[in-house]
């Protein structure tokens, strides 16, 4: 079961717990995920089965798309609906002002992550320190928001679609929007609609995954693991080259390579390794994906 499963993660379940549930449903011990979703959030969680779990380091860079709902007038310590209310204010802003404020967040920028996040600070998770009452000075990080569209405003709720790059915290976006409007805000709801090329339309719920296993046809819903790393050139190996790569040896590099890493396929067109270019003439195995 070396493949990808697009899971529609339910609300209230952590990404780690979702992996545990998939492991229990499928019986596959090697299960991972790419692109953590907060327990409050729902939607696309890319599940990596079998050897696909070894590709996670290259998948977390995927762009993400979300449908976010922000509540104006109320700030929380976690920047979302799960936290404790810290401030409430009257909301006196127009729809035009809200739309204009959202427009300013499009592009490359520095964003300060929430203190209640999984970021490591001196070897400890920030959220654990925050829960202990430790005052944290979170460092800004470079992010990019490509678009904010389909804005819908009803009373103090603002919903919109956001397309963003790696490391963007939608909770921070909600908080920063509230600050810019002078009203305060927090993230009331969040649904991830896409991760890279994988969309919510391709997803299964946990219940659907379990039902498919019971019918013994889950395989029809799984995706080839190489779809997660299309950014690397493909190299097709002959039998001798395949044997060399599986034994950790170098092979000659094709002349038409354009990427430093490459997907290596055997004669049956099965993805067997990620190769690293060590010179213009040689490739070596960086990660072997076979059993």
- Note whether 92 and 187 are same-domain residues: yes
Question: 77 and 29, same structural domain?
Answer: no
Contacts of 54 (CB under 8 A, 6+ apart): 287, 289
pLDDT at residue 256, rounded to an integer: 87
Same domain, 86 and 180: yes
For residue range 2-18, list pLDDT tens digits in order.
999 999 999 999 999 99
**Are residues 90 and 204 both part of a single domain?**
no
In angstroms, rounded to a whole number, what is the distance separating the alpha carbons of residues 50 and 270? 14
Q: In the chain, pLDDT over 70 holds for what percent of residues?
A: 92
Q: For residue 270, with 0-12 CB atoms within 10 Å meaning exposed, 13-18 middle and 19 or more buried, which class applies?
A: middle
3 state SS of 42: strand
Using CA atoms, how far apart are residues 81 and 168, in angstroms rounded to an integer? Answer: 18
pLDDT at 127 over 90: no
Average pLDDT over residues 85-112: 96
The predicted pLDDT at position 188 comes to 98
Give the up-direction half-sphere exposure of residue 184: CA atoms within 13 A in the CB hemisphere: 14
Dump pLDDT digits (tens) for 49-84: 999 999 988 887 789 999 999 999 999 999 999 999
CATH code of the domain covering residue 81: 3.30.2350.10
Cβ-proximal residues to 247 (8 Å cutoff; 6+ apart), any chain:
none
Q: What is the pLDDT of residue 134?
A: 62
- Give pairs for 105-110: CB < 8 Å, separation 24+: 105/145, 105/148, 105/173, 105/176, 105/177, 106/145, 106/146, 106/147, 106/148, 107/144, 107/145, 108/142, 108/143, 108/144, 109/142, 109/143, 109/144, 109/145, 110/140, 110/141, 110/142, 110/143
Half-sphere exposure at residue 6, Cβ-oriented, CA atoms within 13 angstroms = 20
DSSP class of residue 11 equals: T
Q: Do residues 71 and 177 share a domain?
A: yes
Cα-Cα end-to-end distance for the chain: 11
| Structural domain boundaries enclosing 88 | 64-195
Percentage of the chain beyond pLDDT 90 is 80
Q: Looking at the structure, do residues 43 and 96 belong to the same domain, yes or no?
A: no
Task: Identify the CA nearest to 177 among candidates 90, 108, 79.
Answer: 79
Is 73 in the same domain as 180? yes
Q: What's the whole-number mean pLDDT along residues 20-27? A: 96
Please tell me the distance from the alpha carbon of residue 274 to that of residue 57, in angstroms, as a whole number.
12
List active site positions. 38
Task: Count up the domains in the chain and report the number.
Answer: 3
Does residue 38 register a pLDDT over 80?
yes
pLDDT at 36: 86
Mapped onto helix, strand or coil, the DSSP state of residue 160 is strand
Report whether pLDDT(216) > 90: yes
The predicted-structure confidence for 222-276, as pLDDT tens digits, reads as follows 999 999 999 999 999 999 999 999 999 999 999 889 999 999 999 999 999 999 9
User: Do both 170 and 47 map to the same domain?
Assistant: no
| Segments of the chain assigned E as strands | 3-9, 31-34, 42-49, 64-72, 74-76, 85-88, 107-111, 120-121, 124-125, 141-154, 157-164, 185-195, 198-199, 223-224, 233-236, 251-252, 261-265, 271-277, 282-288
**Coil/strand/helix, residue 214:** helix
Q: What is the pLDDT of residue 92?
A: 94
Give 3-state DSSP helix, strand, coil % of the chain, rounded to 5.
25, 35, 35
Calpha distance 56→62 (Å, rounded)? 11
CATH code: domain of residue 275? 2.30.130.10
Give the mean model confidence (pLDDT) for residues 188-201: 96
Q: Indicate whether 119 pLDDT > 70.
A: no
Query: Are residues 211 and 145 both part of a single domain?
Result: no
Please check whether residues 128 and 79 belong to one and the same domain: yes
Q: Helix 170-181 crosses helix 95-103 at what angle (to 10 degrees)? A: 130
Residues 218 and 268 in one domain: no
Residues 209 and 273 in one domain: no
- pTM for this structure? 0.89
Q: What is the pLDDT of residue 132?
A: 61
Average pLDDT of the chain, as a whole number? 92
Pairing of strands 42-49, 185-195: parallel
């Amino acid at each position: 079961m070396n493949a990808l499963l697009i899971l529609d993660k339910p609300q209230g379940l952590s990404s780690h717990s979702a992996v545990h549930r998939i492991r229990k449903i499928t019986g596959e011990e090697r299960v991972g995920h790419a692109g953590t979703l907060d327990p409050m959030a729902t939607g696309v969680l890319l599940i990596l089965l079998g050897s696909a779990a070894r590709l996670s380091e290259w998948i977390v860079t995927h762009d993400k798309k979300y449908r976010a709902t922000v509540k104006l007038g109320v700030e929380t310590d976690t920047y979302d609906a799960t936290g404790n209310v810290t401030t409430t204010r009257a909301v006196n802003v127009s729809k035009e002002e809200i739309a204009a404020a959202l427009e300013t967040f499009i592009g490359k920028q520095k964003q300060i992550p929430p203190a209640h996040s999984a970021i490591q600070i001196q070897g400890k998770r920030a959220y654990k320190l925050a829960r202990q009452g430790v005052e944290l000075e979170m460092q800004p990080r470079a992010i990019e928001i490509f678009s904010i569209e389909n804005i819908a405003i009803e009373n103090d709720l603002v919903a919109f679609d956001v397309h963003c790059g790696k490391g963007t915290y939608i909770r921070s976006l909600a908080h920063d929007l509230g600050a810019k409007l002078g009203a305060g805000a927090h993230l009331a709801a969040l649904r991830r609609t896409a991760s890279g090329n994988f969309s919510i339309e391709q997803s299964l719920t946990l219940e659907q995954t379990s039902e498919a296993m019971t019918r013994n046809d889950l395989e029809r819903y799984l995706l080839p693991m190489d779809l997660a790393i299309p950014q690397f050139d493909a190299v097709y190996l002959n039998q001798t080259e395949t044997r060399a790569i599986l034994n950790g040896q170098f092979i000659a590099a094709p002349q038409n390579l354009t990427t430093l890493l490459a997907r290596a396929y055997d004669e049956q067109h099965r993805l067997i390794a990620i190769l690293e270019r060590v010179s213009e003439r040689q490739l070596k195995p960086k990660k072997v994906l076979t059993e």
